């Protein structure tokens, strides 16, 4: 299998743009803090469930300070539907305390500072930077990982390494859009268990479809 090129990435993204012009992030938020919290809740949970829970969460704990100091049992009950609610409640409060104590209650605006927060990795950091702060970033979630590897744009298995691979062949001005396009394609067409290869707009470009690739 040959190494992917910038031309390969451009062709894939151009086709996905035509197929999914409405591609976007699927978590709902109104601020960097709301998106950061949503990414924590989204672990092993659907975006739809998170979007139902977050309005209740912010009604119960309307500020980062309230969330940091709030009653743990009450917090667990509010986010119970997202699964692993005890672990997530602990992480939410640890992150909020760090934001209050180290950053004056404001979400930091660099990947280096965001990943200093307890339990926040590059995926969540890049999502916040890209979608809530307007910076260009590639956020490698499960959909982006699966689609980029199947097509052949990435070889690695580790999400952080996949991020570097994609950033190396995708122009910086398209990093955020690439995340949305690859992620939406994974949700709508290139599903984990049964990809709809017959109706895929990048089929002839895809190593998986040609029998050369891997999931």
Contact 86, 77 (CB under 8 A): no
Q: Where are the alpha helices (DSSP H) in 42-158?
A: 47-60, 64-69, 72-78, 85-103, 111-114, 122-127, 142-151
Quickly count: other Cβ atoms within 10 Å of residue 130's Cβ.
Answer: 21
User: Annotated catalytic sites, by residue?
Assistant: 123, 141
Burial of 49 (0-12, 13-18, 19+ CB in 10 A): middle
């Amino acid at each position: 299998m040959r190494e992917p090129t910038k031309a390969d990435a451009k062709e894939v993204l151009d086709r996905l743009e035509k197929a999914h012009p409405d591609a976007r992030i699927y978590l709902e938020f109104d601020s960097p803090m709301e998106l950061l919290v949503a990414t924590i809740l989204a672990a092993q949970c659907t975006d739809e469930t998170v979007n139902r829970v977050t309005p209740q969460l912010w009604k119960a704990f309307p500020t980062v300070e309230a969330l940091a100091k709030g009653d743990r049992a009450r917090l667990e009950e509010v986010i119970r539907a997202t699964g692993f609610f005890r672990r997530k409640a602990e992480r939410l409060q640890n992150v909020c305390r760090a934001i209050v104590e180290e950053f004056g209650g404001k979400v930091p605006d660099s990947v280096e500072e965001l990943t200093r927060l307890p339990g926040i990795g590059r995926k969540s950091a890049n999502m916040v930077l890209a979608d809530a702060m307007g910076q260009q970033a590639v956020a490698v979630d499960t959909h982006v990982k699966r689609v980029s590897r199947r097509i052949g744009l990435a070889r690695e298995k580790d999400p952080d390494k996949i991020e570097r691979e994609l950033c190396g062949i995708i122009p910086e001005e398209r990093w955020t859009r690439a995340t949305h396009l690859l992620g939406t394609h994974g949700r709508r067409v290139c599903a984990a268990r049964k990809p709809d290869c017959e109706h895929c707009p990048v089929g002839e470009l895809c190593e998986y479809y040609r029998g050369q690739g891997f999931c």
